[in-house]
Each structure stands twice: as structure tokens, then as C-alpha cells.
């Protein structure tokens, strides 16, 4: 099992998976790193084809679910940080514009939290972590088409929620 390739393919989907479970961005990155490390250390127990993306994804999904159970057990849900790597750069922008952008991002995050867990997960994996459909599908056990369908339904519901709050997406 090629660790650099595994990290390249699944780091983003794993971060998205953990973020969708309620981890803040820093914790989601750490848990993804732990899952990949566990996978590499236990690579001799992997029984699938090492070149099969879906087999790798299913195996990592099992590891991630176990880590998630342990990590989130008995943990009260706390407000999360914005899941964006870059906070709005305020050095060259109008403070009012920066405040508005920050407020919109906060509302989008709150709206994402209102989504079904399955829809929230694919949004985090695909849009926030920038993972491809194949990697997202492999990690959660769906075809590319099924992932596209979930993304479409998640976007429509997110739009509905934001419109009900009178916020432009």
C-alpha cells in the first residue's frame, strides 16, 4: 500500500468526514492524519486489492468510524470554528466587507449543520476539502453518480435553508 498515494487520495475526504461528524477544523485534520497512520500501520491486515479505490475507501471508512466513535463519545457538541483554511484576509479590505463575509460564512456553516448528516458529509468532503467525486464515493461507499446526487440535493436544501433565513448564499 502506497502511503503518499493514500494520503493524496483520502486526506480531504477524511477531513470532511470528521468535520461532518462535528470535529472542528484542527481536530478533523488530526483525526484524518490518525486514520491514515492507522491504515498504514495496519496495512498487512488490508485484504482488498491495493489498487482498488473503493476497497481502500471502504477500509478507511471503517477505521474512520472507529476513530469517530472513540473521539466523539460523551462529547457535547460545541460551536465550531469556520471550516475554511484561510480566514478572510482583512489587510487589504474594507472592515465592513470583511465583517459581512465572515458573517455569511458563519451562516453557511450553521445552515450546513442543519442538513442531514449524509448531505453534510459530502458537502464538507467535496467543497470544503476539495476532494474528487471518486475519492468521496470510495470513502462513503457510493458511486460517483450517487455522490453527485447527494451534492445536488444538499445544495438545494442548503439554498432553501439560507433563503428561509433571508441570506444570500
- Domains of the chain plus CATH, in order, are 3-72 (1.10.1740)
Residue with cell 497512520: 37
The dihedral sign for the CA sequence 40, 44, 46, 50: positive
Q: For 78-96, what is each residue's pLDDT tens digit?
A: 444 444 444 445 556 677 7
Place of cell 476532494: 131
- Per-residue pLDDT of 1-59, as tens digits, reads 678 888 899 999 999 888 888 888 888 899 999 999 998 888 888 888 888 888 898 88
CA 64 to chain centre: 12
Amino acid at each position: 500500500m502506497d502511503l503518499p498515494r493514500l494520503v493524496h487520495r483520502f486526506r480531504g475526504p477524511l477531513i470532511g468526514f470528521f468535520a461532518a461528524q462535528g470535529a472542528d477544523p484542527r481536530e478533523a485534520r488530526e483525526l484524518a492524519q490518525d486514520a491514515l497512520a492507522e491504515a498504514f500501520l495496519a496495512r498487512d491486515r488490508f485484504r482488498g486489492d491495493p489498487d482498488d479505490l473503493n476497497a481502500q475507501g471502504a477500509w478507511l471508512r471503517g477505521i474512520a468510524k472507529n476513530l469517530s466513535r472513540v473521539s466523539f463519545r460523551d462529547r457535547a457538541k460545541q460551536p465550531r470554528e469556520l471550516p475554511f483554511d484561510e480566514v478572510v484576509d482583512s489587510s487589504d479590505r474594507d472592515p465592513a466587507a470583511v465583517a459581512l463575509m465572515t458573517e455569511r460564512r458563519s451562516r453557511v456553516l450553521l445552515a450546513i449543520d442543519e442538513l442531514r448528516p449524509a448531505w453534510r458529509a459530502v458537502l464538507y468532503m467535496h467543497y470544503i476539502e476539495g476532494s474528487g467525486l471518486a475519492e468521496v464515493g470510495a470513502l462513503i461507499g457510493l458511486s460517483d453518480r450517487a455522490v453527485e446526487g447527494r451534492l445536488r440535493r444538499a445544495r438545494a436544501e442548503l439554498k432553501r435553508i439560507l433563503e428561509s433565513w433571508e441570506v444570500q448564499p
